[in-house]
Amino acid sequence: AQERPLGYPQKFMSYRGTPAGNAIRNLGLSGQSLAVWGWMYELYVETDMWSATRDNVLMFSWVRTMRPQDKNILPNYLEVAPRYFKNLYLKDLEKNNPPVFVDAVSPQGFYYTDRLLYGYETFPPLAAFINSNYHLITEVDGVRIFIRNDLQLPVSGDEAR
C-alpha cells in the first residue's frame, strides 16, 4: 500500500501537456472551438476546446500511404483528398469561426512534419481564409498558433501596469 504505481500509469499522472497546448490554454478560451491543421488531436483535450471541423483533410494522405516511410511517394495530398472534404473543412471553419487556428505541421509533429508539403499554405483556399481572418501570435516547437483578428490577447499583470 505504501508503494507508488510503476510504469505506464505514472506517465499519465505526471503529464502536464504539450507546450502548444499550454500556450493555447493560457489564452483563456476554454469551452470554445479550435481548428487544428495537422495531427495534434491531444490539443482538444489539453485546452478543453472542441473541434471546429468535422474532418481533417490531411488524413487522406495518411490513409493512402499508411506507412510513414511512404509519405514522400504521395505527390500531393490535395490530389487524394476528395473535393467534398476540402470544402467541408472550409465551410466548418467559416460556420464555427474558431477563435484559435493551429498549424500543427512541424518538425516535432506526428507524420506531418514538412510545412512545404503539408503546411496550411499548401491548401490555397485555406491559406486565403486564415491569412484574411487570423494572425500569428506565437510558434511553439514549430507549431504555429493563430488567433482571430477581432480578438485581443489577455493582458498579464505585468503588462497592465
Quote the pLDDT of residue 71. 56
| pLDDT 10s digits, 76-91 | 666 656 677 788 889 9
C-alpha to C-alpha distances, 151 to 97, 135, 145, nearest whole angstrom: 12, 10, 13
Could you tell me where the DSSP H helices lie in 75-156?
Answer: 77-80, 83-96, 115-118, 124-133
Average confidence (pLDDT) over 33-50? 90
**In which residue are the cell numbers 509519405 written?**
71
pLDDT for 29 beyond 90: yes
pLDDT for 58 beyond 80: no
pTM of the full structure: 0.77
- Specify the pairing of strand 50-51 against strand 33-37: parallel
| pLDDT 10s digits, 106-158 | 887 777 788 888 889 988 999 999 999 999 999 999 999 999 999 987 665 45
Quote the pLDDT of residue 76. 62
pLDDT for 98 beyond 80: yes
- In whole numbers, what is the pLDDT of the chain averaged over residues? 79
Residues 6+ away with beta carbon under 8 Å from 57: 77, 81, 85, 86, 89, 123
Average confidence (pLDDT) over 3-27? 72
